[in-house]
Each structure stands twice: as structure tokens, then as C-alpha cells.
């Protein structure tokens, strides 16, 4: 055969083989790929214990439990501190997507940062799974086809703590609200639940993120005479506001504090003496059942602390993403997102969970009361369960969410 004919034949065969990997008949990756996952959160500021390096460790555990590889390649994990600044978070995410080959970003504590990275992920056609941020807008008016929200949101917190306390007689409220997107949304969602349950909102005051002195804000709450002071903040801000509320005698005077976003990490920071009686809503508690205890004890051996719902949720989100990549046999965002919405979430965190078409992972939430010191029988024995809130009651339906997908 002449050389030119041979070359033409080889080229045609190569083109045919290449086409087989790019049309609908493709059944697997053409070469070993692997995936790269980024955990982006606050690792040094007000939310460092709320998620922080502990969420990174939870993601690492999920990767190890999955087996460490997918699509014939290694699963890589990177992490960074966004310092609770949307511009910093967006710049890190842009570099991860454009230069470092990150396929999915998760955790994303702080709603303002999460919304910014969520929008960037939409523009770049990348998957993001928010765990640490609260705003229900992520699967509402800000939803996108590859965006997901995992552990909880402002609606679920409002239904849990807000609804329960109002129905129990705490029918007048005053809010201490963190002055950014998360606080506004949490106050708004809780106010709607309070009024729908027959209660009234007497007022609210905004405080800056990472405040140290809550005196003026607490005095306004105290003078409102509201039965419940709703803390629409989180992390160290919640811890500091509760400690200072005790100094002003707010609970001693008959008002009840509601930690609208309080997790096990903040209760640990407070201690039972200061935290006793606080009503909180979480999507996970390490001593809830056998599966939860098994994960909690493994996490404790690695970190020296029990996980809260953010850290447990980061494990669940990471593992679910990897299962979707495997099921799709691809890391293409559209293919993986379709599988995330198709596959059930059946791990210790989201038992019986499902992902809606707007990206909201729906699972049961739990209403807890912080134990008195005398009621606690072992380390990290902080909660007694008051109620289970079914997922379809805790979270917006797609129709209610405002998502235009």
C-alpha cells in the first residue's frame, strides 16, 4: 500500500475511534481523569469552629470511604479560607475553576460568599454544593442547574425553632440579626413563620459580623419586652451574644433566647451552664442513632471533637457528589447534576433524603433542647430531642422556593 494511502487509512481509523468517544455511544472516560474537590470556608474567623478545618477533615473522610479514586484517577482535595469576604471567595473559586482544575466546590460557609461563588459556578458551568451557608435564596431566586444546598437553610431553621417556640407560648419576638445576607434572610423567614403561627414581631436590631460588644443590642431586646429574643446570627457571634445576655439578666428576667442557627460547636463553646435550656434546630446530632454515633465516634478519633451538622453535612455532600460522578461515568457538570437529583441520599446524615429539581436536598430536621449540666452523662452529651420535623415540612417545595429553573 502506498504511504499516502496508508496515512489516509490510519487517519480515518483514528478519527473514527475518536468519534466513538464523543457521540452518544460513549460508555466511559477515554483516559484516567479523577476529580478535584475544593472546600472553601472560614478557617480563621467567626465561623472557624462552625465549619472550618473540621469540615475539610469530614470531606477527607468521605473521599477515603469512597475509595480514593474515580473515573480511573485519584480524587484530590484542596481547601482555602475565604475570610467571610465575597471578593476573596470569588477570586479563590475563579482560580480553582480556571487554573487549578477544581470540579466541585463545597461547604461555603457565609451566605454572601456562597451566593457569589454560586453565581460564578453558574457562569462557569461547575457544580457547587453549599453546606455551611443558610440563605434559602440558593435554591430560590438564585438557583441554577448545577447548584445544590445540603444541610439546612433559613426556612428549615424558621420552621423548627421559630415555629416550635411560638406554638409553645413564645408568641412575641425581637431579633438580634447579623448585618448581611444570612441574617436578613433568617430574620425574614422566621418572622413569616412566627406571624403565620399567630405570633407578633416587636422589632429587630442589626449587628456587624464578628461583633465583640452586644450591650446596646441586648438592651434594645430587653426593653422590647418580647417573650423571645431570636438570635439571627451564628458561630462566635451567637456564643458572645448568649454569654452577654446572661450578664444583663435577660433570661433571668423571663425572656427566652432562641439560637436560630446554633450547632453543637457553639454549645460546646458556651458550655452547658450558659447554654442550658436553649432550643436549637439541627439536621444531625452524633447521638441520634447508631449510624450517627458510628460516624461521630470516627470523627472524634481523628479530630478530638464531635461533628456538628455542617461537618457531617460536608461528608454527606462530598460522598453524594462522588457517587453521582461514578454513576454518570463522567465529571461533566450536567451529567453529574442529573445523577445527584436522581440518586437517593441514604447515608447517616440524610437518611431517606432526596434532591429536588432546584438542588435542595430534603431530609428530616430535629428540634433539640440543650441539657442542664446535671442531665449530661458523658462528654458531648448536650442535647435532648424535642421533635422530628419531616423534610417536606422543613423545606420549601420547588413551587414555593421561587426557583425559575
Task: Please check whether residues 328 and 271 belong to one and the same domain.
Answer: no
Domain check: are 262 and 177 in the same one?
yes
Residue 356 has pLDDT above 50, yes or no: yes
Residue 5 in domain: no
CB neighbours (10 Å) of residue 228?
Answer: 28
Using alpha carbons, list the distances in angstroms from residue 32 to 53, 69, 341, 361. Answer: 30, 10, 25, 30
pLDDT, tens digit, 9 for 90 and up, residues 266-288: 999 999 999 998 989 999 999 99
Phi, psi of 354 (to 5 degrees): -145, 155
Q: Residue 335 pLDDT > 90, yes or no?
A: yes
216 belongs to a structural domain? yes
Q: 371 and 225, same structural domain?
A: yes
Separation CA 92–CA 117 (nearest Å): 9
Q: Residue 310: what pLDDT? A: 98
Which residues form the domain of 160?
Answer: 155-282+366-394
Q: Within this chain, do residues 53 and 105 fall inside the same structural domain, yes or no?
A: yes
Residue with cell 438580634: 176
Q: Is the pLDDT of residue 255 over 90?
A: yes
Q: What is the largest CA-CA distance in the chain?
A: 99
Q: In CATH, what number is assigned to the domain containing residue 51?
A: 3.40.50.2300
Assigned C-alpha cell, 333 = 457538570
In the chain, how many domains are there? 2
Report pLDDT for 12.
39
Q: Is 80 exceeded by the pLDDT of residue 381?
A: yes
Same domain membership, residue 387 and residue 292: no
> CA triplet 379, 381, 382: central angle to 5 degrees?
125
21-34 mean pLDDT: 49
DSSP string, 86-127: HHHHHHHHHHHHHTS---EEEE--SHHHHHHHHHHHHHHT-E
Residues 152-205: tens digit of each pLDDT: 999 999 999 999 999 999 999 999 999 999 999 999 999 999 999 999 999 999
pLDDT for position 31 = 58
- 8 within some domain: no
Is 379 found in the same domain as 274?
yes
Contacts of 267 (CB under 8 A, 6+ apart): 275, 278, 280, 370, 382, 383
Question: Can you tell me the distance from the alpha carbon of 356 to that of 148, in angstroms, rounded to the nearest whole number?
Answer: 9
Task: Kindly provide the b/e burial profile for residues 66-88, where b requires at least 16 CB atoms within 10 angstroms of the residue's own CB.
Answer: beeebbeeebbbbbbbbebbbeb
Residues 353, 367 contacting (CB under 8 angstroms): no
Residue 88, domain member (yes or no): yes
Helix axes of 309-328 and 333-342: crossing angle, nearest 10 degrees: 110
Residues 66-107 have pLDDT tens digits of 999 999 999 999 999 999 999 999 999 999 999 999 999 999
Residue 155, class by beta-carbon neighbours within 10 Å (0-12 exposed, 13-18 middle, 19+ buried)?
buried
Is residue 14 domain-resident? no
Write out pLDDT tens, residues 47-77: 999 999 999 999 999 999 999 999 999 999 9
Average pLDDT score over the chain:
92
Residue among 228, 207, 219 at smallest CA distance from 165:
228
pLDDT recorded at residue 10: 40
Helix (H) or strand (E) holding 200: strand 200-207
Calpha distance 109→132 (Å, rounded): 4
Give a yes or no: residue 195 inside a domain: yes
Task: Please determine, for residue 20, whether its predicted confidence score (pLDDT) is greater than 50.
Answer: no
Between residues 15 and 152, which one has the greater pLDDT?
A: 152
Same domain (yes/no): 110, 217: no
Amino acid at each position: 500500500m502506498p504511504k499516502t494511502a496508508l496515512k489516509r487509512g490510519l487517519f480515518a481509523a483514528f478519527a473514527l475511534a475518536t468519534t466513538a468517544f464523543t457521540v452518544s455511544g460513549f460508555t466511559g472516560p477515554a483516559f484516567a481523569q479523577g476529580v478535584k474537590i475544593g472546600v472553601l470556608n472560614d478557617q480563621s474567623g467567626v465561623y472557624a469552629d462552625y465549619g472550618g478545618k473540621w469540615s475539610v477533615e469530614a470531606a477527607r473522610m468521605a473521599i477515603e470511604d469512597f475509595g480514593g479514586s474515580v473515573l480511573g484517577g485519584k480524587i484530590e482535595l484542596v481547601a482555602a479560607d475565604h475570610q467571610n469576604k465575597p471578593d476573596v471567595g470569588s477570586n479563590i473559586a475563579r482560580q480553582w475553576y480556571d487554573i487549578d482544575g477544581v470540579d466541585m466546590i463545597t461547604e461555603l460557609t457565609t451566605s454572601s460568599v456562597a451566593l457569589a461563588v454560586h453565581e460564578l459556578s453558574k457562569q462557569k458551568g461547575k457544580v457547587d454544593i453549599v453546606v455551611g451557608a443558610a440563605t434559602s435564596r440558593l435554591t430560590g431566586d438564585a438557583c441554577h442547574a448545577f447548584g445544590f444546598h445540603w444541610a439546612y437553610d433559613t426556612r428549615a431553621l424558621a420552621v423548627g425553632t421559630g415555629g416550635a417556640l411560638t406554638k409553645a407560648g413564645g408568641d412575641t419576638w425581637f431579633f438580634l440579626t447579623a448585618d448581611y445576607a444570612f441574617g436578613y434572610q433568617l430574620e425574614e423567614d422566621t418572622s413569616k413563620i412566627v406571624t403565620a403561627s399567630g405570633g407578633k414581631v416587636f422589632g429587630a436590631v442589626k449587628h456587624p459580623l464578628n461583633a465583640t460588644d452586644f450591650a446596646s443590642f441586648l438592651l434594645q431586646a430587653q426593653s422590647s419586652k418580647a417573650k423571645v429574643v431570636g438570635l439571627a446570627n451564628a458561630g462566635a457571634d451567637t456564643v458572645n451574644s448568649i454569654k452577654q445576655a446572661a450578664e444583663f439578666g435577660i433570661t433571668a428576667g423571663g425572656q427566652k433566647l432562641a439560637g436560630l442557627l446554633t450547632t453543637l460547636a457553639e454549645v460546646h463553646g458556651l458550655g452547658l451552664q450558659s447554654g442550658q435550656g436553649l432550643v436549637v434546630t439541627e439536621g444531625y446530632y452524633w447521638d441520634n442513632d447508631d449510624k450517627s454515633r458510628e460516624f461521630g465516634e470516627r470523627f472524634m478519633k481523628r479530630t478530638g471533637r464531635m461533628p456538628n451538622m455542617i461537618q457531617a453535612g460536608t461528608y454527606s455532600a462530598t460522598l453524594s457528589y462522588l457517587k453521582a460522578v461514578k454513576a454518570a461515568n463522567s465529571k461533566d457538570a450536567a451529567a453529574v447534576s442529573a445523577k445527584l437529583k436522581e440518586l437517593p441520599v441514604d447515608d447517616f446524615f440524610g437518611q431517606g433524603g432526596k434532591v429536588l429539581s432546584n438542588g435542595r436536598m430534603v431530609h428530616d430536621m430535629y428540634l433539640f433542647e440543650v441539657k442542664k449540666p446535671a442531665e449530661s452523662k458523658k462528654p458531648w452529651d448536650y442535647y435532648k430531642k424535642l421533635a422530628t420535623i419531616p423534610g417536606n415540612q422543613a423545606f420549601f417545595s420547588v413551587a414555593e422556593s421561587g426557583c425559575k429553573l
